[in-house]
Structure 1
Amino acid sequence: MTERTNRTVLLRGGTVYSPADPFATAMLVEGEHVAWVGSDGAAEAYADVADEVVELAGALVTPAFVDAHVHATSAGLALTGLDLTGCPSLPEALARIAGYAGHNGGVLIGHGWDETKWPEGRPPTLEELDRAAGGAPLYLSRTDVHSALASTALRELAEGLEGLPGFHPDAPLTRDAHHAVRRAALAHLTPAQRRAAQQATLDRAAELGIGALHECAGPEISSEEDLAALLALAAENKGPEVFGYWGELGGVETARRLGAFGAGGDLFVDGALGSHTACLHAPYDDAPHTGTAYLTAQQVADHVAACTEAGLQAGFHAIGDAALAAVLDGVRAAADRVGPARVKALRHRVEHAEALDDKAIAAFAELGLTASVQPAFDAAWGGPDGMYVQRLGAERAAALNPFAALLRAGVPLAFGSDAPVTALDPWGTVRAAAFHQTLDHRISVRAAFTAHTRGGWRALGRDQDGVLVPGAVASYAVWAVGDLVVQAPDSRVAGWSTDPRSGTPGLPDLTPGLPLPTCLRTVVRGRTVHQA
């Protein structure tokens, strides 16, 4: 039976995370909106008129999370197929590939290898890959999705591969060669396979209390057909909501035709640190070059100006300091051309934005840019023994992902996963920001939670959403939790307080090692999309 959208639901007997009432224990939802928050005693007045009364039994109710950067098809393929994330060694990776190839036909697609975490310190050779794949076409993206392993059979499907930038006869493929083999692999997905992968991502997001996703599509990372199919599937479902971004230079009209929110997302200015393709001012510590620049400041300026004239949000993938400098120079030139107020009003985005210094952070604030960032990157690759140090050395690595400095400067943060680069894991993402491996970059749990809820809506220009107050959209999640605390960003300071006199709503204790909250129910615009 179809769930009515005008139902009245009363939730009581728990904790409601709401700025309207820091001590709220109950909430009333009418149709798609929050109608009231308050105490259990006052909620008795609504019990007889509610279509459903949810007894929370001490559970926590929060706004649903927003994941501000995903790739739904690729994430779904990793969820349902060959995922080497966390694989401990090269021999184990080859064994998993062989096992997967033995039970699947056609083009094989997988993800997640990371040679920096293997004792061997190297990816498989082409000969090893072909042997494991049993001669089948195999595409296997690295964990950062900026390089890939491709078997001989798949390389033969990608015409003209040897003449493309980033081609290597034996090593992983990068740049245009990588894009070519990815297109060849994805072209062999049937509509049913693509739909199943996308549905798997939507289902997993709902299970984790995620109510909305920002899909970062584009001609180099997916296809027009892929984005159109995802938006159509999301429209059929009760949730999560999906907002599409189309990352193509000069792609304003394509973005409009596809129904995308913006012409940005993964519009690549550079690549990734793990694949040595992030664009740097100074060479890598472990490679004699500075990475790859895909766009110039002039191209950035032209794109931002065109998007601003069209009233459409622009956005760029930029990780290295040189790539970020090109973005900032370009946005500033666009502001000089079309007017700074018009540029700031659209809240153009920068995805990842890892290598920021104080000058770049000040420019973000000046130009009204949103930093769409992924705290799980630091959890995966930060720290004294992580990949960042291998690539950049300790000093440069310690400067990456400066969330605290961004907040102090007033730069809006929108948190995401970049799934499948890191997993859909919203509470893990909040924990990663609050317990950043560089102490100076840590932010409070409350600020991190806001960046992963309201931050995603603010990036869309919807400042009223992502908070449980009367009149707000009723997209929320119910959680089984332990103690609720107010956690500070730095263990060297008074870390938390359970004193109710503070009047600050509490959130789960996310100290590393403690279990994360379990989602009991996810509701999007008043409709239940997950119930444990």
Structure 2
Amino acid sequence: MSDSVPPAEHRTVLLRGGDIHSPADPFATAMVVERGHVAWVGSEGAADAFAAGVDEVIDLEGALVAPAFVDAHVHATATGLALTGLDLTGTASLAEAAARIRDHAAARPADRILIGHGWDASRWPEQRPPRRDELDELTGGRPLYLTRADVHSAVVTTALLDLVPGVRDMPGFRDGEPLTKAAHHAVRAAAYAAVSPGQRSEAQSAALRRAASLGIGTVHECGGPDISSEDDFTGLLETAAQEHGPRVVGYWADTDVERARALGASGAAGDLFADGSLGSHTACLHEPYADAGHAGVAYLDAAAVAAHVTACTEAGIQAGFHAIGDHALANVVEGMRAAASALGLDRIRAGRHRIEHAEMPTPETVAAFAEFGLTASVQPAFDAAWGGDTGMYASRLGVERARTLNPYASLLRAGVPLAFGSDSPVTPLDPWGAVCAAAFHRTPEHRISVRAAFAAHTRGGWRASGRDDAGTLVPGAPADYAVWRTGDLVVQAPDDRVARWSTDPRSGTPGLPDLSPGAALPTCLRTVVFGQTVYVRPNE
């Protein structure tokens, strides 16, 4: 990942009259940005010495300046299509979803494929997704691709199925049920191939604009041959290089390491599927699902993991896998151990490899993550959406197993680096919401401090992509920051995970917004990437 941005004049800017979240000076109220980097942080009085020599002075009027967020797992095109198109997230019934599908089809040009996202039949009283014949009627027989909330299964129309020869004979096709496995991957590829370049570019730009408006300065795009297309991936990287917006770090989920490198990817990683998802019953488990007579599916075994990690390590590129179920995570760990045996533990640790989701680690898995230097790229919003004793996880696994999911505190205690993301559009771009979800996890023993959660969503994302010199506002760091309107800033007591707060200035710790239940989340006023403003809130 480079610090390059679209050509523009770098201005020297003094920000003053606010609160600067910086470990260099926990009480800083001013900051100077020069040539895309933080040049100085300090007190309001000392800022006077810089005022005459800068191009611009910004009066913060009491606002908070903090490192820009990094969303470590995003699908930009799918996010943009959900933002600009058919989004069934939050629908309360099959009938409501059907009405939205009908209205969307009627409002779209007849020559455009229909793509939608977000249905979750477990939340509907009907407890089932729409059937194909119902979709055919709702769309007037047009091609429609409609993903479940977890994006690991989909319902489609007959017209789209007919575009994929042989799909009815593929694993994952069961007439009358959502598509999974190879059938889903084949239909998804056909659906996205039918999206016009203009439609794709419009969606990607919409996703990046939304990210910028939420104080996100960097996104990690997780593409791959089973997820999108090479044109989609390279198009996004090109868009990011040409437009003023968030940085894009690209991961290409392919065992062809040289192909990933040729596409401009930072790693042959991301959604390289070791298994599927819990919602679609495709996450690979040691014991069967509580509500199904099977234990999911493994897409990669330990030997395949070892071969990929070895190839990536020797090529000097990050490896990584999507792994959710406890059995899938065990396969990844076994493969890592075999690669370490062949290449040496130090080389594996130096590779900074990463695992996406990592929802069901056992204590042994957690220890292995620490041993091999793996980053856990996780999504706290998953617990907020599906955790708890009555949530989807409990339905799939039973309450006791569900309570073991997403153990962030255990991972941190073991020394496993965390990077937070959304997996958007699976859950929305919402960084402060993710910080809250981790700090107020539905299972109390898995909660971490707001401070640790904020670090995972800022510095953690940089470290997950191999950068240790960014993600904090200290002199010399890239000037990626956001300006926030907040309530009172609070400092969380070091020995407390959640509830007790201290405003004692002697703590020497930068404050963060009060995120306790019921508190209003901060409002983003400005987002800056490498010293360049990429978002300003209207009327601010």
TM-score computed with the length of structure 1 as normaliser = 0.98
2:393 to 388, 394, 408: 388
Are 2:139 and 1:133 aligned?
yes
Asked if structure 1 preserves the Cα contact closer than 8 Å seen for 2:376 and 2:417, the reply is: yes
The residue aligned with 1:52 is 56
Asked if structure 2 preserves the Cα contact closer than 8 Å seen for 1:279 and 1:293, the reply is: yes
Asked if structure 1 preserves the Cα contact closer than 8 Å seen for 2:384 and 2:441, the reply is: yes
* Structure 2 CA distance for aligned equivalents of residues 474 and 5 of structure 1: 15
1:70 to 74, 94, 118: 74
* Structure 2 CA distance for aligned equivalents of residues 490 and 90 of structure 1: 46
Asked if structure 2 preserves the Cα contact closer than 8 Å seen for 1:210 and 1:240, the reply is: yes
The residue aligned with 1:204 is 210
The residue aligned with 1:257 is 262
1:104-119 equivalences under 5 Å are 104=108, 105=110, 106-119=112-125
Which segments of 5 or more consecutive residues in structure 1 lack a partner in the other structure? none
* Structure 2 CA distance for aligned equivalents of residues 232 and 107 of structure 1: 24
1:502 to 493, 504, 507: 507
1:522 to 524, 527, 531: 527
Asked if structure 2 preserves the Cα contact closer than 8 Å seen for 1:442 and 1:490, the reply is: no
2:107 to 92, 103, 106: 103
2:363 to 319, 335, 358: 358
Render the CA deviation track for 1:303-349: whole Å, top value 9, x for unaligned.
00000000000000000000000000001100111111011001100
Asked if structure 2 preserves the Cα contact closer than 8 Å seen for 1:207 and 1:530, the reply is: yes
> Which amino acid is 1:189 matched to?
V
Secondary structure of residue in 2 paired with 1:157: coil
Asked if structure 2 preserves the Cα contact closer than 8 Å seen for 1:445 and 1:489, the reply is: no
* Structure 2 CA distance for aligned equivalents of residues 283 and 178 of structure 1: 22
The residue aligned with 1:34 is 38
Q: 1:491 to 1:133 in 2, by over 3 A?
A: farther
* Structure 2 CA distance for aligned equivalents of residues 70 and 488 of structure 1: 32
Asked if structure 1 preserves the Cα contact closer than 8 Å seen for 2:16 and 2:30, the reply is: yes
Asked if structure 2 preserves the Cα contact closer than 8 Å seen for 1:489 and 1:495, the reply is: no
Q: 1:447 to 1:132 in 2, by over 3 A?
A: same
TM-aligned CA deviation for residue 491 of structure 1: 8.3
TM-aligned CA deviation for residue 488 of structure 1: 5.7
Are 2:166 and 1:156 aligned?
no
TM-aligned CA deviation for residue 486 of structure 1: 2.1
Q: 1:181 to 1:488 in 2, by over 3 A?
A: farther
TM-aligned CA deviation for residue 513 of structure 1: 2.5
1:91 to 92, 95, 108: 95
* Structure 2 CA distance for aligned equivalents of residues 86 and 399 of structure 1: 26
Asked if structure 1 preserves the Cα contact closer than 8 Å seen for 2:448 and 2:497, the reply is: no
Identity %: 68
TM-aligned CA deviation for residue 133 of structure 1: 1.7
* Structure 1 CA distance for aligned equivalents of residues 495 and 57 of structure 2: 40
> Which amino acid is 2:467 matched to?
R
Secondary structure of residue in 1 paired with 2:49: helix
The residue aligned with 1:345 is 350
> Which amino acid is 1:55 matched to?
D
* Structure 2 CA distance for aligned equivalents of residues 5 and 489 of structure 1: 42
> Which amino acid is 1:29 matched to?
V
The residue aligned with 1:144 is 150
Asked if structure 1 preserves the Cα contact closer than 8 Å seen for 2:447 and 2:498, the reply is: no
TM-aligned CA deviation for residue 490 of structure 1: 9.8
TM-aligned CA deviation for residue 489 of structure 1: 9.5
Render the CA deviation track for 1:65-89: whole Å, top value 9, x for unaligned.
0000000000110011000011111
2:201 to 172, 175, 195: 195
The residue aligned with 1:276 is 281
Are 2:484 and 1:479 aligned?
yes
TM-aligned CA deviation for residue 493 of structure 1: 7.0
2:20 to 9, 12, 16: 16
The residue aligned with 2:3 is none
1:391-470 equivalences under 5 Å are 391-470=396-475
* Structure 2 CA distance for aligned equivalents of residues 461 and 82 of structure 1: 36
Asked if structure 2 preserves the Cα contact closer than 8 Å seen for 1:87 and 1:113, the reply is: yes
Secondary structure of residue in 2 paired with 1:173: coil
2:330 to 322, 325, 329: 325
TM-aligned CA deviation for residue 223 of structure 1: 1.1
The residue aligned with 1:215 is 221
> Which amino acid is 1:353 matched to?
A
> Which amino acid is 2:317 matched to?
L
TM-aligned CA deviation for residue 503 of structure 1: 1.4
Secondary structure of residue in 1 paired with 2:137: helix
* Structure 2 CA distance for aligned equivalents of residues 248 and 360 of structure 1: 24
The residue aligned with 2:241 is 235
Which segments of 5 or more consecutive residues in structure 2 lack a partner in the other structure? 1-5
Q: 1:492 to 1:522 in 2, by over 3 A?
A: closer
> Which amino acid is 2:23 matched to?
P
* Structure 2 CA distance for aligned equivalents of residues 340 and 503 of structure 1: 38
TM-aligned CA deviation for residue 498 of structure 1: 1.4
* Structure 2 CA distance for aligned equivalents of residues 526 and 368 of structure 1: 32
* Structure 1 CA distance for aligned equivalents of residues 8 and 335 of structure 2: 48
Q: 1:493 to 1:274 in 2, by over 3 A?
A: closer
1:25 to 26, 29, 33: 29
Render the CA deviation track for 1:105-148: whole Å, top value 9, x for unaligned.
23100000001111111111222222222211110010000000
* Structure 1 CA distance for aligned equivalents of residues 321 and 406 of structure 2: 16
Q: 1:50 to 1:413 in 2, by over 3 A?
A: same
TM-aligned CA deviation for residue 487 of structure 1: 3.3
* Structure 2 CA distance for aligned equivalents of residues 185 and 431 of structure 1: 35
* Structure 1 CA distance for aligned equivalents of residues 208 and 332 of structure 2: 32
TM-aligned CA deviation for residue 492 of structure 1: 8.8
Asked if structure 2 preserves the Cα contact closer than 8 Å seen for 1:5 and 1:526, the reply is: no
Q: 1:498 to 1:516 in 2, by over 3 A?
A: same
